């Protein structure tokens, strides 16, 4: 059993045109063997305290970011360089997580 700390943008998308990054996230633990989620919480990223989203996610021990749509290539690569794997609803396990939270 591998438990993966996961963040999901509250409205599913990581970015919004003209508005920047999502600031509200579901935070949970995902068991990649059973597909179960646990310890579901909410987190609010305050860019005035932690200017980099990836740094804030890392401070919460997040290893996976699940979005309804894949973010831009540069954002995905930046997250990967920070050690955060990014997946979208096309991925079966990501789809399961999003469905659990009624985001798809």
Give the model's pLDDT for residue 1. 59
Give the model's pLDDT for residue 55. 96
Helix (H) or strand (E) holding 88: strand 85-88
Residue ranges of domains in the chain, CATH in brackets:
3-100 (3.30.420.130)
User: What tokens were used for 11?
Assistant: 């409205």
The dihedral built from the CA positions of residue 82, 20, 18 and 68, taken in this order, carries a sign that is: positive
Return per-residue pLDDT of the chain as tens, 104 residues.
Answer: 589 999 999 988 898 887 889 999 999 999 888 888 899 999 999 999 999 999 999 999 999 999 998 889 999 999 999 999 999 888 888 888 888 877 76
pTM passes above 0.75: yes
User: What tokens were used for 46?
Assistant: 């305050």
Give the model's pLDDT for residue 20. 87
């Amino acid at each position: 059993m591998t438990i993966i700390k996961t963040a999901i943008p509250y409205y599913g998308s990581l970015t919004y045109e003209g508005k920047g990054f999502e600031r509200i996230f579901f935070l949970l633990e995902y068991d990649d063997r059973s597909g179960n989620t646990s310890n579901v919480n909410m987190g609010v990223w305050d860019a005035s305290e932690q200017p980099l989203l990836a740094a804030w996610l890392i401070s919460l021990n997040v290893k996976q970011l699940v979005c309804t749509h894949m973010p831009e290539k540069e954002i995905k690569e930046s997250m990967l360089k920070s050690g955060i794997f990014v997946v979208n609803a096309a991925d079966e396990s990501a789809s399961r997580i999003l469905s659990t939270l009624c985001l798809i």
